[in-house]
Each structure stands twice: as structure tokens, then as C-alpha cells.
Structure 1
């Protein structure tokens, strides 16, 4: 969808063009009287044209776009344009029988033209966009929609769309994305829809239905490991009352470990399978999240293989494989040391950051302060020792210099005395 424009290059008067289209749609005899005489019944003529326009879906492919563009151009001449366009959009959402292969693309092109011809704040743009979504969903042309989603927030503001309409739109986009296999995109638009519920609606059937949809996607996703985006939403929190078992499962994936998940399964035997959830996926994700938690809670930054094996309930020989999987998931960074049988933790992701994590941070800060204090004491001691050694060396050097100076003066005086005596004796002779 290109930037909005109002330029349409079609020559001819309204009456001539309307009659031309009426003849093409085989309603010329019905439309002609409405276009003649002093009283031009433009809207009545348009009503007949729009009603008959369903036939355009079976018109030859090479004539389809031109015929629809002419119809759109004529409708835009009416002050009642918003009465006619929704019907045209509805027609374009239906199959183009004359072109099974290219029909969706042709219809999408016409809908895009309609969207762009309307003023940005025209509320019918909302209906046109919904028609585009229906067409994209049925045709699988999600790639044509993707670039436009970046403008959606701006459009919603321009349309002054109410929260219920926004919710409907976000849900539609989520459906379209899901059908196209765009799991993450679908998930994000379900979250957007959930954010449109006010405090009095969070327990409504619609809110709870969307909440369960979002939770299931997050649980089964191969790439989603952070559940804070869910737990912060009021409709999700309302699951604690309406669907307490689901909420319990969410809490486990948000902040608990594999042992808790296994206890959950034992307590609710068969429930996961009944809900259509995949235990193998959930079990694997819990192991990855558990390793991230264990890595985050270690103070030494050296995580022993045996501790990992115990936490993940796996054989010791599988530890390195699981560590590599957690690194690939982006939950931790570090280096494996086969020689020392430890994983050296460089960075880890906190799954939840609450009182417990603040205590861990405080403990580490205290450890760092103690380490820095010890280092400072060692440096201070070394400096004092160095200064004392330097002082001793300087004193020793001074003593040597003083001793050497005294010895040199005595020898020189003896020589001068002896030399003087010789000179006197030589003078006597």
C-alpha cells in the first residue's frame, strides 16, 4: 500500500462513465434514466452499479482491474462514498472465478488502490484494511502485508479506532500470521489484542480465550523462553481464577524448575495431553530453562557437570549436549571445560527478577566487595614492602657512598704529605 493519493486519471463525465460501466454490467437500461434530465440521481445510479458489480468477479482477467478502478472512481464522486465502498470490498474478498491463479493478486491491487485513494482519517479505511486482511488470509499472501504492519499503529491513531475495533483488527492479523506460519508475529498481535481489555473486561470470555491462546503459543514455541510479557498482563493474571491449572503451569515456566514440572504432571495426570499440549516439547523447554536458572544462581561462575546432570535429570555424558542447546537458545553464554568437568558461566538470563534475585545480586556484590578489599590490602602491603625495600636500598647506598668518600680522603692526604716531604728534601740538596 503506497502513500495516500487522490489522483485518478480517467477521462469523461460522470454520466458517460457510469453509463459505460452500466452497459458492461448489463444494467444500462436501469441506470440510463437515472442519469438523464435535470435531476441527476447519482447515488441511485451508483447503488445499481455497486449491486451489479458482483459480476466483475467473473469478468475476463485483462478487463478486471480497469472495470473495478472505474467503479471505484465513480463511487468516489459521491458524498455517500462510505456507503458504497464496504460492499465493493466485500465483493473483492470473494473468489475471482475468472482468474483462479492471479485473482487474489488482482483483487488485492484494487483494494490497495481504494485504501490509498481515501483520506488518512477516513474511517472506511479500517473496513478496507479488514478486507485486505481477509484476502491475504485466504490467499496466503502474507509477504505483501508484512511491510504495511509497521504503519498500523499510525493508521489506528488516524482512524481513531475504538479498543474493541483495535482488538478485532489485532486478532485478524494474528490469524493471518498464524495461517502463514509466522508464529512469533501471530503471538505479538495476540498480546496487542490482550492489552486492549480494560480492568472490567479481563475476565470476559473473549479475554480469557485470547489469554489461553497466547499462553499455549508461548509454551509450545521453540524460541520463546521469557514469560514476563505474559505474567504482566491483567487478562493473563485473571487465569488464576478462571483456569487455575493453566496459571499454575505458567508459574512453573516463569520461575520454577524441572522437578516442579514433573510434580505438576504427577498431580494432574493426563491433563497436558487432554489440553492438546505436547509434553515432549514442554519437558525439553523446562530442562533448558532449568539450566538457565541453575547457571544464574551459581556464585562461583563454575558450574560442575554433576550439578547440571542432577538438575536436568540426565546422564553425565549428555551434559555437554544440553549446555550447547541452552547456549543456542540464547539463555546463557559460557565455555565448557572437559578437563575440569565444569561449565564456565560468562553470562546468563534471569527468568524472573524478584526478591530472590535481588538477594543474589546483593550476595555477589558483597563477595566482590570482599574480593576488592582483599586485593586492596594485598596491594597496600606490597606497596609498603616495596617502599620499605626501597628505603633500605637507599640507606645502604648512602652508607656505601659515605664509606667510600672517607677512605678516599685519607689516602689522598698521605700522598700529599709524602710528596711534600720529598719536595723539601729535593730543595735542600
Structure 2
């Protein structure tokens, strides 16, 4: 026996069921339509009375495709319909039920990513904000990323990537979920030229989740490790990275497919232009297959080589050495020094009279254990200097206070 709950105004969920079912059966004729609409409304009422919110969600989503494809339904009406459907998650009785409801809604929303993708994305974010369970939020966010990439509306999700660190704290994810998140974000950013650095950042976050103990799992990161290396080499404004210290990257050194890619990374981070030119001569086809432009690589390696000179020549680099190392003409030496200055790779002065570059500081291409130890030593020295200054100031203050006290006694 069916129980009908009397209400002065129809429940929003019931109104949505009535509206969508009328659309679904509109071509079947008035009698059939009325019969089917009544049946679905009764079924919806039963779900509401018995608190079967998962079943109600499934029922309401049945006609979602028809609603999206119907030209008579405006985007505003679509948003209202799915706001009512998404709101059902607030009635769930457990985190598991909430997750199942979220999965049903997401599956329906991302089914046709090219049809009104921006609206579909908005619906998913509305759903996200209604959820209480942290893992449910993570699940919906990941589906939103999938939709954004498939529907080519990544510009709507990119601003949220600035909050990833706070999201991680909120979601409290396992390592495998973190990997999935970092890789998905990197993939969402990879086609945006203005976000190349951010894409690289999330790729390195992904690779950093693998340790030496993850031998079995680490194999799945080979392709992404190679991709990260290529992105670094291609980037005209990235001159430093920690990739060589990562186990996920180190595994490529002896890999049959990616060993040469690893060798290329080592050249860019630890060697000079002559090593790159030798590598390119033997592997030009490989470089082209990865979309690397030889002239761009030369330009980057010249700057990297200049940085290497700055860190190994005791702060004094002869023009002639720069000319030979960078393989340039005499009149190009100062031009490349200026390029290194403007990109903040080195801080220096040019002594044109003596034909030398005087370096006061430079960027480290690799920031590993040796660099951390050097930084620790430098910070220790600074701390000692600051303590010395503070002690001197305090001693002078004590002397000054004593002098003022003596003068006060003399005035009395």
C-alpha cells in the first residue's frame, strides 16, 4: 500500500521528477504520459517516505540525458533541476551512502562532456560544496578534472589548483590518491602554455611520492618521469630542479627505452654545452621525436654553462673562457652575460678593461645534499654575525645607561 505525504506545496524533488518524466514521455501520448508520470511520482514518494535517498537519486537521474538534450529546457532550469538532485546528498545517513549518491550524480554529469561542459562543471562544484565527507569531496573534484579536460574547459578549474595544499590537508589522502591527484592536475595544465611551470611542479610532486621501497609501483612512473625531463629541457625559463635525486627518475638511467632521456637531463644539470652538442650529434632523431628544438636547447645550455662557470671559477670568469665554453664570438660575450643577469641566474659585474666577469652569486642548477649543507653553513655564519651584533648593541646600551646614571648623580 502506498503512503502519500500531504503537503501544502509539492516537494522540490517531486516537482523535478514530475517535470523530467513529463519531458521523457511527452511523445507517447497524453494517456501513456499521465500513467507513467503518476507511476514515477508515486515511486519517488515511496523513496522519500522510507528515506531511500540513494534510490531516489537514481530515479531522478533516469531522465537527466533527456533534460540536457532538450532545447526547451534552459540552462538556468537545468541548474535548478540538478541543484535539487545534488541536495539529496545532505539527507544521506552514512558516508558510504553519500559517496554512492555522489558517484551516481558524477557518472551522469560526465557522460557527455562536450555538451554544455561549463554548466556540467558548475553542477559538480555545487555538489562538491554540499558534501560533508572529505573523501567524497576528493572523488567529485577528480571527476570535475576529468570533465574539464574532456570538455576543454580547464580554465574553470585552474584557479582551484592554488588551493591544492589546503585540499590535501582536508582530504587526508593515501599516497595512491595523492599520485592520482597530482598527475590529473598536471594533465589539466599541460595544454596551457601559461601554466607550463605549474604543470611541471605537479609532475614533480607526483614523482616525489615514489621512494626506493616502491620498486613494484615505480615502474608505472617511467613515462611520466621521461615526460617531466622533456618538459624541463623544453622550458626556456627553468634552470633548476631536483629530478636527479628522485628514485622515480633515477630508474631511467639503465632503462632500455628512457636511458638517453636520463642522460640528457644529466647533461643539462651537470655538464656544459660541448656535452650537449656531442649528444645531439648522435641522437638528433630522438630529440626531434620529443619535440625538442636544437636551437632552443643550445640557447638554454649556453645559460646553464655560464652558470656552471660562475660556480666553478672562484667568482672571476675571463671573457675568453666564456667565449670558448659557449662557442660564441667575442662581441657576444657581454650579451650572454646580460641574459644571465636578466634571468637572475647570476649576480655579477663586467670588468671590460680586464675582460673578466666578477660573480658575486649564482643559481645552483641542482639543489641536493651538498647545496643544503652549504646553505646550512651560510645560515650558521649569518646567525653568528647577528648574535655578535646584538651582543655589541646590548653592551653599548649597558655602558650608555651607566654613564647616564653617573651624570644624574653629579647633577644632584
Residue aligned with 1:158, SS:
helix
Distance in 1 between the 2:9 and 2:173 partners?
33
Q: Is 1:194 aligned to 2:214, yes or no?
A: no
Q: Is 1:262 aligned to 2:285, yes or no?
A: no
Aligned match of 2:42:
33
Say whether the 8 Å CA contact 2:349–2:358 is kept in structure 1: yes
Choose 230-239 or 15-24, whichever is displaced more. 15-24
Choose 274-283 or 319-328, whichever is displaced more. 274-283
C-alpha change, 1:335 and 1:69, in structure 2 (3 Å) is same
Distance in 2 between the 1:70 and 1:274 partners?
51
Distance in 2 between the 1:176 and 1:14 partners?
44
Aligned match of 1:180:
192
CA deviation string 1:263-316 (max 9, x = no partner): 2234445432344322222221111111111122223x4422222111111111
> Which among 7, 14, 22 is matched to residue 19 of structure 1?
14
> Which among 96, 102, 105 is matched to residue 88 of structure 1?
105
Say whether the 8 Å CA contact 2:113–2:147 is kept in structure 1: no
CA deviation string 1:175-206 (max 9, x = no partner): 11112221011111111111222434457442
> Which among 242, 246, 250 is matched to residue 261 of structure 2?
246
Q: Is 1:282 aligned to 2:277, yes or no?
A: no
Distance in 2 between the 1:291 and 1:320 partners?
11
In our comparison, the structure showing a higher alpha carbon Rg is 1
- In structure 2, stretches of 5+ residues that fail to align are 1-6, 22-35, 376-412
The normalised TM-score by structure 1 is 0.71
Distance in 1 between the 2:45 and 2:338 partners?
79
Aligned match of 1:105:
118
Say whether the 8 Å CA contact 2:273–2:326 is kept in structure 1: yes
C-alpha change, 1:346 and 1:51, in structure 2 (3 Å) is same
Residue aligned with 2:344, SS:
coil
Say whether the 8 Å CA contact 1:331–1:349 is kept in structure 2: yes
CA deviation string 1:83-110 (max 9, x = no partner): 222222233335588xx7xx34333332
Q: Is 1:51 aligned to 2:46, yes or no?
A: no
Distance in 2 between the 1:74 and 1:32 partners?
16
Mapping 1:29-428, distance limit 5 Å: 29-35=38-44, 40=50, 42-43=52-53, 44-58=55-69, 59-79=73-93, 80-95=97-112, 103-119=116-132, 121-181=133-193, 182-202=195-215, 204-227=218-241, 229-242=242-255, 243-268=258-283, 270-299=285-314, 301-352=315-366
C-alpha change, 1:191 and 1:36, in structure 2 (3 Å) is closer
Distance in 2 between the 1:183 and 1:232 partners?
22
- In structure 1, stretches of 5+ residues that fail to align are 1-11, 362-429
C-alpha change, 1:163 and 1:15, in structure 2 (3 Å) is farther
Say whether the 8 Å CA contact 2:89–2:130 is kept in structure 1: no
Residue aligned with 1:350, SS:
coil
Residue aligned with 1:345, SS:
strand
Q: CA deviation at 1:157?
A: 3.9
C-alpha change, 1:215 and 1:52, in structure 2 (3 Å) is same
Aligned match of 1:385:
none
CA deviation string 1:310-344 (max 9, x = no partner): 11111111112111112222211222343443323
Choose 124-133 or 349-358, whichever is displaced more. 349-358
Distance in 2 between the 1:269 and 1:314 partners?
22
Say whether the 8 Å CA contact 1:34–1:40 is kept in structure 2: no
Say whether the 8 Å CA contact 2:229–2:262 is kept in structure 1: no
Residue aligned with 1:153, SS:
helix
Residue aligned with 1:303, SS:
strand
Q: CA RMSD in A?
A: 3.1
C-alpha change, 1:210 and 1:21, in structure 2 (3 Å) is same
